[in-house]
Structure 1
C-alpha cells in the first residue's frame, strides 16, 4: 500500500472566501451530460455530487453551467437561468451542505463552440468575440444548419454582462451555492475575448490586452458588487490549445496576456475586493486529454508570482501516482495552494479518503464520461465496498428532474 498524503499540506485546513475547508482537494468542474432535456439538474446529479461531498469540509465545483439560453447549448447540460433550475440546484447544494461540504457554481457561456443547431431551434445565433471558427469542421457544421458564427455587438456584450451573468450569479446564491466561478478557460466565450487567436475586434473589446480583458474584468467588478468578491472565483487556462486557442497567428505570448489579467485581479484584491480563489489549468492537460510529457510547454509559475491569494491548480496530478511528487511540491510549496481532480473523482467518490490513506484509485472509464445514462456515473463504489445494481437497468436509467 502506498503512503497516504495526510502529512502534507493537502490535508491542512484553509479559508477560501467565506468557506473553511478541512483539506485542499477540490472536485473540479466535470461535464457529464446528466441533466434533463430542458437543462434542469437531475436526480442522478444529486446522488453524484452528494457522494463526492462525503468528506466534511470538501470543495465541490459544479460542472460548467449555462448562464442563459443564448450561452451556447449542448444536450443535457444544466443551466441556472430559470426558477426550476435554481430550485433543483438548491436540492443538490442542500445535500452537499448536509455532508458538511461546500459547493461552487461554474458559470459558463460557450460562445462560438456552442451547438449552432440547438441555438437555431430557439431562434438564437451562434456568437463570439469575432466571426471566427475554432476549426473547419465547426464552420461546416454551423453553415450546414444555417447558423454561421457572428461577432457580438457592444450592446449585446453589455447585455450578457449585466443581464445574463448577473442573473446567473444571483440565481446561484439563491440556489444555495457558496461561490461562483467564471469559466474563462479552454476556448469558451471569455477566453475567446481574451486571446487574440479568437478576437480580431477593433472596438472597446478588442485589439489591446486591456480591451480584450475588459469583458472579464467588467463581470468580475459587477459580481463583486452584486454578491461579494469573496463569493467570486475565476478559471484560466493559459497554455491550453483547445478549441482554437493559441493558433499560429496568435503572436501575443500567453504570459503577456494572462499577466495583465492576473495583475488587474490582484489590484482589486489590494483594494479590498479579494476573490475566493484563482483556478488555473496546468499545461499537463488539454481540456480533458493528457498532454504527452515530452510535449508539455509552459508553466503557471508566473501566476503565483503575481497573485497573492488562494490558487486552485488542476490537471493530471495523478500521472506520477502513487508518489504524487508534483502534487506534494505544489501544495507544500506555500500555504495557499489547492489541487483539483476531475477524472479520478468520477470513479472514486471517496477520493479524499483514498488520497489521505494511500489507497488504490479505481480507474476511470472515459467511454462512459458523456453517456446519457446512470451506468458509469453513480455506479462506482467507495473503497472496499460493493454496489448492488443491475447493469442493464442502470444503462436504461435516464436523468429525471428534481422539480
Structure 2
C-alpha cells in the first residue's frame, strides 16, 4: 500500500531534528526532497491520463448470441476528448439489425448503443466546450475527417470517413472497432458530444440522440410549417418523435400504423387522424394529399402506397430501414406514374443540428415515451422491440451494471 504524500510531508516537518541541525536547514533540505516527490507524483498522473480507459458493459459475441457482461479498454482521453460516465442508453431498432447481423457482416464482440447521455468525468487539456460535471450526449457518430465539404457544412453524417459509435472501424485511433453505450463510460472527441441542459429529463434524453434527430432533421429540411399536411408512416420509436415535432411546428398530422392499440396515444399527441392500414375504409381518398410523408417503418411494406399519397411536388422521406430479408423496392414505373413526387432517404443530422434539436426538445418539453429497464433485461427487450411491443423506447439504466456478475 502506498503512503499518502501528505503523510510523508507531515513526518518530514514534525519529525525530531538531528542533534546539531538547525530547524531552518532541516526545512530547506526536506522541502527539496518533497519537491522531488511531488514531481514524481505529477509525472505518474500524466502517465495515467495517457492510459487506456477501462470499461464495463454488455456485449454479444455472435448473431445468435445472448448479451453477456464484458470488460474492455477504450482509447486514452486525448487533449480534445471528454470521458463521459454514461447514465442512460437507449435501445434503437438499428441496434437489433447490427447485433443480429441483419444488414451486413458484423465484427464481434459487439457493444451496441448510440443513444447515450451521461456526465463528463474528465476533459482533455484543450477542451473548452465542457467541464467536469456537465451533462453530455453522444449519438450515432464519434468522429469524421472535419475537412470534406460535408463536414464543413456541419453534415458530418455524410462524411466518407465518418466513424460510427459502435461496430465501426475507427481510422483515427489505430483502426480499433468502436464500442457503444451499453457500458459505463465512453471517450469521445468534444466535437461529437452535445451539451445537455441541466434541466433536462435525463432518463428520457438518450433516445433524442438518434430517434429525435433522425425525425427532426427532415422536418427542418422540408421546412414544415403551420397548416402543412404531414403523414407519419409507422408509430414506433421514430414515428412518435416525428409526430411530436410536426405537431409542435403546427402541421396537420396523420399517422399510419397496423396496431389499433396505438390510436389513443397518437390522438393524445395531437394528430388530426390515425389510420389503421389494415382497415380498407380508413385508407380511402388519401391520394395526392400530404406535402411531406415520413416513413419510419422498419419492416417490409409497400413504399408505392405512400408515394401515391404524397402531393405533387411533395416529399416522401424514408427513415426506417428493414432487414435485408424484408427490404422493400420501388419499381421505375411507380416513379413515372407518381411524377413530381420526390422520394429519398435521410440519415440522422450533423452535430450542430443535433445540438439545435436537443435545445429545442428540452425547451418545448418534447421527449420520447420510455420504459427504463435494467441492463440485465437486454435480450428480453430486444425480442419485444422486434415484435413492436414497446411503447415507445426502452432506455437502459446504466447504474444497474453494478448488479452484474463477473464479465467475460
Q: TM-score range by the shorter chain?
A: under 0.3
Please say which structure displays the higher CA radius of gyration.
2
> RCO higher in 1 or 2 (8 Å CA, sep ≥ 6)?
1
TM-score where L is the length of structure 2:
0.26
Q: Going by fraction, where is strand more abundant, 1 or 2?
A: 2
